[in-house]
Amino acid sequence: MKIDFENINQRILALPIPARNYDSLLAGKTHVMYLLEGPIVNDGNSSGRIVHKFDMCTRKTDKLLDNIGGFVISSNGEKVLYEQLPPRNPLTGDGPPHGTWAAKPVDALGKPGEPGKPDGTLQLDSMKVYVDPRAEWQQMYREVGRIERDFFYDPNLHGANLKAQPFVDNLMSRADLNYIFADMLGEITAQHIYIFGGDRPEVKQVNVGLLGADYMIDHDLLPLCESVLRRELEPGPSCAADGTGCERPSRRVPAGRGRARSTRRR
């Protein structure tokens, strides 16, 4: 492909597309583009994107899908693979949940499915994938080296040595691999080199105990009379200083003598 840059500003065509926060533009079949509209403010908990179709011949924009996660078009522009996200509960504060993946012809997007026929939804709940984590980690290590070699502006990588094969050979977890990547790439001392992600086992979190205190103010001093350790870790009624209101008994810890803090602001 050759680009003719001479007077290119005189050959730019403004398309009649409504002004929105488009974060991706994908080419489909001839004369067709797909525009992915994202939220105005992406705080990590926002809903999915909106998929629009623009036809160069009719100069019209049509909305096809709403609340979409991933969206990929085949190389010939005939089919699409996309993720339909479920409605998000704003009270949970969690990030966007995983959705349902579907593969459909592009002409079927935005149209109701025919009764009794498959709607293109992929049944991934029963899918099992057998993997060799150690082999994957070796491949990731080699790929990181190739990426930095091919795309970093300095062929000498600021003098850094990215050799860590002996450590990779003895990895026990994906967290160890991320640690090696962070330590290895940190030697380059360049910005915009990030290490994150990876498949890790889900670990059940345990809430910590809640600490309360019985105190009094005496001549602008705040002596700690005694602290209260609440043993009830689940959400429930708050504990009073004497332990009333707790579903389980609280344990009191006597305060050390002579410990006092001033209540005056400095």
Instruction: Kindly report the number of other CB atoms within 10 A of residue 25's CB atom.
Output: 11
Residue 61 within a domain: yes
4, part of any domain:
no
Domain presence at residue 165: no
Q: What pLDDT is recorded for position 95?
A: 53
pLDDT at 77: 92
Domain count within the chain:
1
- 191 within domain boundaries: no
pLDDT for 169: 94
104 part of a folded domain:
yes
List, for the chain, all residue ranges whose pLDDT scores fall below the cut of 50. Answer: 229-234, 237-253, 255-258, 260, 262-263, 266
Answer yes or no: are the C-beta atoms of 50 and 35 closer than 8 Å. Answer: no
**What is the full DSSP assignment across 18-51?**
----EEEEEE-STTEEEEEEPPSS--SS---EEE
For 79-97, what is each residue's pLDDT tens digit? 999 999 887 766 655 555 6
Say if 69 falls within a structural domain.
yes
Q: pTM higher than 0.85, yes or no?
A: no
Tokens of 42: 């992406």
Longest CA pairwise span in the chain (Å): 85
Q: Could you tell me if residue 54 is inside a domain?
A: yes
CB 185 within 8 A of CB 161: no
Per-residue model confidence (pLDDT) at position 52? 96
Amino acid at 226: E
Q: What is the pLDDT of residue 51?
A: 95
Q: What's the pLDDT tens digit per position in 99-126?
A: 899 999 999 998 888 888 888 899 888 8
Residue 62 lies in a domain: yes
The range of the structural domain enclosing residue 83 comes to 14-108
